[in-house]
Structure 1
Amino acid sequence: MKGLIIIGSAKMGSHTNALAHYLKGHFEDQYFEVEIFDLAEHPIHQLDVSGVSSPSEVYKNNLTLLQTKARNADFFVFGTPNYHGSYSGILKNALDHLTMDDFKMKPVGLIGNSGGIVSSEPLSHLRLIVRSLLGIAVPT
């Protein structure tokens, strides 16, 4: 099985990044093929449904890479820090560029980090997003 971990932290070398790499190692120990897509390393332009703005080639290439990896994934993990009680804007933006077909009936794990119990708040929000994308949020 192929998995895709999407890191939704804007900070290079973040705790979310470390957590994602730790989890990737555990998946690989069980013979899963897992890739990490770090949105800090591969930024994606903001979704513009009006078609007015023209994103740079770097953003276009990053988006194409994310979309290809998402379509080929059998399962996902979304990783996010806690930003004001919710998940990160860059993760939201990335998900806005993907479709329900990318997630339909696929399991989605959720990981988050921050100080204390507030880490669960972004994950509660993401469960709703996963459901609206027709994915299956794995209990955490």
Structure 2
Amino acid sequence: MSSDRPIVLAAIIGAHGLQGEVRLKLFTEDMGAYRTLDGAGRSFTLKTIRPGPNGAVARFAEIGDRNAAEALRGTELSVPRSALPPLAPGEYYHVDLIGLPCLVDGAPVGVAAMVEDFGAGDVLEIEKPDGKRFMVPVAKAVTIEPDRLLIDPEFVE
């Protein structure tokens, strides 16, 4: 679960003002904890961040004006997996579950395709070998092991 692949923390959704600030859609709770992010084949140094419409408004040292900010619309900003804070026992990052094999009573039923949070807790979307997908509540139906996910048979379609 600890590869150093890039983890997307935000996406630039547009410019804000004339001085090169950008509007961000956030995929993390604490974007301010990361000073350097990668995107569009280059690095960006976070100078300031504050709450804004649909996420946050940020200023990066490398973006000097509105035109430069607009040109980056759609850019995903990431950090290496190793830059994420360590987890307490029983915690996990959604990205660490994606791609893990899912088993029911020792038999494979599919692969973890996505983790969603609809407000009542995480929901795991599992893709079966035939391409069909089904969802299970993580808290009630999933036992997380380092290299696989064990699914309660009562929740399998």
Q: Which has the larger radius of gyration?
A: 2
Higher relative contact order (CA 8 A, sep 6+): 1
TM-score normalised by the chain length of structure 2? 0.21
More helix per residue: 1
